[in-house]
Amino acid sequence: MPQITNPILPGFNPDPSILRVGDDYYIATSTFEWFPGVQIHHSRDLANWELVTRPLNRKTQLDMRGDPDSCGVWAPCLTHDGEKFWLVYTDVKRKDGSFKDAHNYIVWADTIEGPWSDPIYTNSSGFDPSLFHDDDGKKWFVNMTWDHRVRPLLFSGIVIQEFDPVAEKLVGPITNIYKGTDLKLVEGPHIYKRNGWYYLLTAEGGTAYDHACTFARSRTLMGQYETHPDKHILTSKDAPLAAIQRAGHGDIVDTPDGKTYLVHLGGRPTTQERRCVLGRETSIQEAYWGDDDWLYVKNGPVPSLHVEVPGTRDEQKYWAEQRYTFGNGLHKDFQWLRTPETERIFSTENGKLRLFGRESIGSWFEQALVARRQTHFSYDAETVVDFRATDERTMAGLTAYYSRYNFFYLAVTAHADGQRELLLMSSEMSWPDGKLRFPADPVQIPNEGKIKLALTIRGRALQFFYAVEGQDLQPIGPVLDASILSDECGGHQAHGSFTGAFVGVAAHDLNGTASPADFDYFTYRPQHDPSDRYEVDSLMGKAN
C-alpha cells in the first residue's frame, strides 16, 4: 500500500471530523472567524482531498461580526444517518476570561454540496458539540461543559442529551458521562458503537504541546465509561522531537475493506521557539482494533509522519502555482473575516477583485480583507492594485495576516497632503495594545497608475517588494520575521490562539467613504524549502 506524508490537509485545518458515505470520505474542519464557516473536503482514497463546500455561507446561518480573534466556528461534527448529512458547530462569541459564550447549532442537508438548512439552536453550556445516531434511531447531542467557578474543573465533563429531530430541540435529562483523565481539559467528544460497546473519543490537555486523544468505553450509552488502558491513544506530549506536535482532537473512520483510520490535528514547528506558522493541520494515522476490543494507533501513541493509505498523493498539484483571476468570481481558496454581507466588502463584477475600504485592519466587525491559507513553509505572492488614496486614512494592498495583533501590511496610501506613498506596517505580538510598527520609511509613488506588490517567505524570512508600472520589482523594508504569524504568537497564551497564517489583499477607509481598490489578479507560488516536511522528515530530530 502506498505511503503519504502527513498532513493530509496542510495549513489551517484544525479539529477534523471525518465521515464515509459509500466510497466517499468527507472531513469537516474549523474555520473560526473566517467566513464562510466550516471547510468540508472530499476524497475517495484518503490521500487526495478537494475542498467541496463551506456550508455556513449566509447570514441566517452565521454572523460573526464582533467575534474576537480565534472565536467564531469551533470544532464542527459531520455525520450521516443514512438519509441526511448533519453538521453540528459552535459559534463562540467570547472565549477570554472566566466565561465562554458558546452557542451550539445543528444544520442538515440532503447532499454534501447543500443547500444546508437554517440552524437549529441547541444549547450554550459548552463547546465542541457532536451528534451520535444510535442504531435504534435515536439521536444524541454531546458536548463538553464549562464551569467558570472551576469547581472542581474548568472543563467539567462531557454531557449528553437526546435530540428530537422532529421537534428540532434537545429533550430529556442531561447526563455527565465522562470527566476525563488527570491530563484535564476534556473536550472534542465523538461517540461510536461497535461490538456492543459505546466508545467515546475525546481531546485533552489543551491545544498546545500537551494535546492528546483519549479513548474510553462503556456497555451503555450513559456510562460509566472506562478509560483506555493506555489512556491516550495519540499524543506528542512526551515526544518533543516528533515532526508532528500538538497532536490531538481526532475522529475515526472505517474503510470499505475494514481498515480503521484516525484523523487528528497537529502542528509542525520549524523554529527554535516551536512556532507553527501553518497552524493546526489535519493528519491521518492507521489504527487497529485489538483482541481486547480497544482501538490502538499503529506505531502510536506518537503520530507518524508517513502513513499507508489506499491512494497516492498528487504531489505535482500540491506544488503547483496558483494564479487567481476574478472573471468567474472569487475562487474557493479565498475567505474573508466575519461578515456575511459580502456586497459591502468586495465585488468581482468588473472581472477584477474590487474591495470597498471599511474599518481598520484587525477590526472585529467589518473589514475588507480577502485571503487564502498559507499551506507551504515557503512561497511567493503577488498582486497588482489600482487605488487612488486620498489621505493617510485610505489604504489598500498586500498582507500576510494572522490576527489583529499579528500581521504585516504593505499598503498604497497617501500623506495628509494627498501625495501617494507606500507604507509598510506591522503588528508583531503587540497584544494587548495593538500598536503599529513601521519597519521602513514611506516611499513616494505617482498619484496615478497601478502598483505591483509582492512578498516572499522563506521559512521565517519575509521580504516585501513593489514596482510602479513599467519597472521591475524592488525590495521595500527589511527582512521581517514571518514566524510570528503563528498560534504561539497570536496574542494569547499557549491555548488561546487557534488559526493560521493567511496571505491576501485588503482595503481600509478610515474616513468611512468606502473608497474602492481594484486588484487585477493574485498569485500564490509554492517554493521548495528544507523546512517543509514534504521534503525532509524533520528539522528538530528524527521523525518516526
Rounded to whole angstroms, what are the CA distances from 55 to 109, 351, 398, 424, 468?
A: 9, 25, 28, 36, 40
Residue 69 belongs to a domain = yes
Ramachandran angles phi, psi of 274, nearest 5°:
60, 60
Are residues 392 and 413 in contact, defined by beta-carbon separation less than 8 angstroms? yes
| The C-alpha cell that represents 134 in the structure block | 444510535
Q: Do 182 and 40 sit in the same domain of this protein?
A: yes
The SS3 of residue 344 is helix
DSSP annotation of 460: T
Are residues 145 and 124 in contact, defined by beta-carbon separation less than 8 angstroms? no
How many whole angstroms separate alpha carbon 332 and alpha carbon 522? 13
Residue 434 confidence (pLDDT): 72
Q: Do 503 and 472 sit in the same domain of this protein?
A: yes
Q: Do 368 and 284 sit in the same domain of this protein?
A: no
Q: Do 420 and 296 sit in the same domain of this protein?
A: no
> What pLDDT tens digit does each residue of the chain (544 aa) get?
889 999 999 999 999 999 999 999 999 999 999 999 999 999 999 999 999 999 999 999 999 999 999 999 999 999 999 999 999 999 999 999 999 999 999 999 999 999 999 999 999 999 999 999 999 999 999 999 999 999 999 999 999 999 999 999 999 999 999 999 999 999 999 999 999 999 999 999 999 999 999 999 999 999 999 999 999 999 999 999 999 999 999 999 999 999 999 999 999 998 888 999 999 999 999 999 999 999 999 999 999 999 999 999 999 999 999 999 999 999 999 999 999 999 999 999 889 999 999 999 999 999 999 999 999 999 999 999 999 999 999 999 999 999 998 999 999 999 999 999 999 999 987 666 778 999 999 999 999 999 999 999 999 999 999 999 999 999 999 999 999 999 998 777 667 899 999 999 999 999 999 999 999 999 999 999 765 654 444 333 333 3
Rounded to whole angstroms, what are the CA distances from 405 to 111, 228, 426?
A: 39, 41, 9
Which H or E run includes 188? strand 187-194
Residue 303 confidence (pLDDT): 98
CATH number at residue 505: 2.60.120.200
Q: Do 356 and 271 sit in the same domain of this protein?
A: no
Q: Would residue 187 show up in a list of annotated catalytic residues for this protein?
A: yes
How many whole angstroms separate alpha carbon 220 and alpha carbon 71? 34
Residue 531 belongs to a domain = no
Q: Do 25 and 66 sit in the same domain of this protein?
A: yes
Residue 88 belongs to a domain = yes
Residue 544 belongs to a domain = no
Q: Is beta strand 39-43 parallel, antiparallel or unpaired with respect to 50-53?
A: antiparallel
Residue 540 confidence (pLDDT): 37
Q: Do 335 and 261 sit in the same domain of this protein?
A: no
Predicted structure pTM score = 0.96
How many whole angstroms separate alpha carbon 52 and alpha carbon 70? 23
CATH number at residue 153: 2.115.10.20
Residue 533 belongs to a domain = no
Last residue of one domain, picked from the residues 284, 313, 342: 313
Q: What domain range includes position 11? A: 3-313
Q: Do 365 and 295 sit in the same domain of this protein?
A: no
Q: Do 77 and 206 sit in the same domain of this protein?
A: yes
- Report the domain count for the chain: 2
How many whole angstroms separate alpha carbon 79 and alpha carbon 132? 8
Q: Do 268 and 348 sit in the same domain of this protein?
A: no
Q: Do 162 and 200 sit in the same domain of this protein?
A: yes
Q: Do 148 and 188 sit in the same domain of this protein?
A: yes
Residue 431 confidence (pLDDT): 62
Closest Cα to residue 278, out of 503, 60, 18, 107?
Answer: 503
Q: Would residue 15 show up in a list of annotated catalytic residues for this protein?
A: yes
* Catalytic choice (33, 187, 204, 509): 187
Residue 335 belongs to a domain = yes
Residue 470 belongs to a domain = yes
